[in-house]
């Protein structure tokens, strides 16, 4: 017997980016996660898209866990309004804790930090350390070049064609939430499976 997911980690920028659609998507994701009754796991900051996704989830009555390394407390303006705020001793322990607490991962627009989180969680899946869904939410085509890079790794022989199935791209938050709704957890396991992933 399986159970539905209960938490989603969102990776996204500590800036808003150039398009209003990025912030709107972050807010939609926060509200959607809260509406579904899932816990939001995110980077703990109060600024940029990270702050927007957390604020929207909180405003919608959702449960939010922020995970931030101690050296970023002031730089990313630690969010004091979250349900739970965990301060870690490094970026590595931050990512490990976010991974452990999340049943699935949604990647929204962001910069180098977002790319780092995305690539690590994809690599862990490639190494069969988990089977959790990883969704790139391609708001306004922001991820086109990131996706092209993943495709190029396959074309150039640095990854198998099957590796592209480790992550799925969806066009918007609504599509991401629909896929996450279908995800189930195998009891006694931290892994999550869906029919499509």
pLDDT band at 82 (very low <50, low <70, confident <90, very high): very high
The answer to whether domain 3-193 has CATH 1.20.81.30 is no
Burial class of 3 by CB neighbour count within 10 A (0 to 12, 13 to 18, 19+):
exposed
Q: Which of 60-64, 68-72, 132-136 has the lowest mean pLDDT?
A: 68-72
Tokens 């398009």 correspond to what residue? 19
Arithmetic mean of pLDDT, 68-94: 83
More confident residue, 123 or 197: 123
Q: Is the torsion defined by CA of 45, 67, 145, 56 positive or negative?
A: negative
pLDDT at 191: 52
pLDDT at 192: 47
Give dist(CA 83, CA 103) in Å, integer. 18
The set of residues, in sequence order, having a beta carbon less than 8 Å from that of 20 and lying 6+ positions away, is none
pLDDT band at 74 (very low <50, low <70, confident <90, very high): low
**What is the value of pTM for the model shown?**
0.90
pLDDT digits (tens, 9 = 90+) for 10-49: 999 999 999 999 999 999 999 999 999 999 999 998 899 9
* Mean predicted lDDT score pLDDT of the chain: 90
Query: Mapping DSSP to helix (H, G, I), strand (E, B) and coil, where does residue 122 land?
Result: helix
Q: Which two tokens stand for residue 111?
A: 């910069």
pLDDT band at 186 (very low <50, low <70, confident <90, very high): low
């Amino acid at each position: 017997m399986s159970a539905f997911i209960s938490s989603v980690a969102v990776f996204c920028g500590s800036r808003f980016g150039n398009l209003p659609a990025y912030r709107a998507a972050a807010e939609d994701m926060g509200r959607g996660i809260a509406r579904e009754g899932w816990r939001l796991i995110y980077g703990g900051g109060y600024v940029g898209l990270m702050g927007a996704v957390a604020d929207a989830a909180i405003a919608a009555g959702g449960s939010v866990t922020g995970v931030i390394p101690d050296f970023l407390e002031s730089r990313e303006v630690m969010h004091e309004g979250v349900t739970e705020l965990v301060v870690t001793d490094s970026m590595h322990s931050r990512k490990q804790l976010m991974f452990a607490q999340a049943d699935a991962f949604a990647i929204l627009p962001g910069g180098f930090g977002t790319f780092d989180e995305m690539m690590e969680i994809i690599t862990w899946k490639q190494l069969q350390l988990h089977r959790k869904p990883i969704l790139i939410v391609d708001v306004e085509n922001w991820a086109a070049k990131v996706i092209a890079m993943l495709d190029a790794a396959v074309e150039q022989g640095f990854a198998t064609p099957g590796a592209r199935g480790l992550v799925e791209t969806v066009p918007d938050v609504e599509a991401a939430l629909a896929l996450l709704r279908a995800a189930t957890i195998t009891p006694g396991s931290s892994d999550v499976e869906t029919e499509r992933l």
